[in-house]
Amino acid sequence: MAFSSLMPDNTCLPSCSLTPDQSEQERTRTVDETKVFYTKEMDKLNQKVQKSLDQSALELQKAQTETRKVELQLQEIKQQSEDKAKEMAMLLETKCELEELVSRLEAKAKSLEAGEAEARRAAQRAAAELATARAQNGEAAGALEAQLARRDALSRELAAAQRHGEE
């Protein structure tokens, strides 16, 4: 009965009331029908399997395409990361150079401030010396004027004495 349930028309095997030739013919016919049935079923299954394989191949192709897109995106992200790392390294180097430059400029500014303070002190000393020299010059000029005035007075007296002596 299990075999008969596999028959296309769900008929039972022929009974034993047939003649041996008829029985053989019936068996051959049944085997042929069974072969045809299973061949058709196998074709249907093969078509389903092929359709499933085609669908799987299409899905695999889509997955490979998506994978390639993701790989390209990852490669682009990696390149951007490398570019950013290079840029950050350059910025860090520039920052260090700028900090060094600022440090040198600050040192130079302090040096200039110290020089400026020294220059102010020197200018004040020079101004004091100039004032002293002017005062001394003024005193010397006064003394010179007094000597000139005395010489002129002596010259006049001498000239007057010579005139008196000639008279």
Q: What is the pLDDT of residues 44-71, one digit of tens each?
A: 999 999 999 999 999 999 999 999 999 9
- Of the given ranges (16-30, 57-71, 83-97, 136-150), which has the lowest mean pLDDT? 16-30
Q: Do residues 118 and 125 make contact, with C-beta atoms less than 8 angstroms apart?
A: no
Does the pTM exceed 0.95?
Answer: no
How much is the CA Rg of the chain, to the nearest whole Å?
65
Q: In terms of C-beta distances under 8 Å and separation of at least 24 residues, what long-range contacts does 32-36 make, across chains too?
A: 33/7, 33/8, 34/6, 34/7, 34/8
Alpha-helix residue ranges (DSSP H) falling in the chain: 20-166
Q: What's the rounded Cα separation, in Å, for the pair 167 and 137?
A: 44
User: pLDDT tens-digit profile of 115-127?
Assistant: 898 999 999 999 9
Domain boundaries defined on the chain: 4-166
7, 30 Cβ separation under 8 angstroms: yes
Name the average pLDDT for the chain. Answer: 87
C-beta separation of 34 from 6 below 8 A: yes
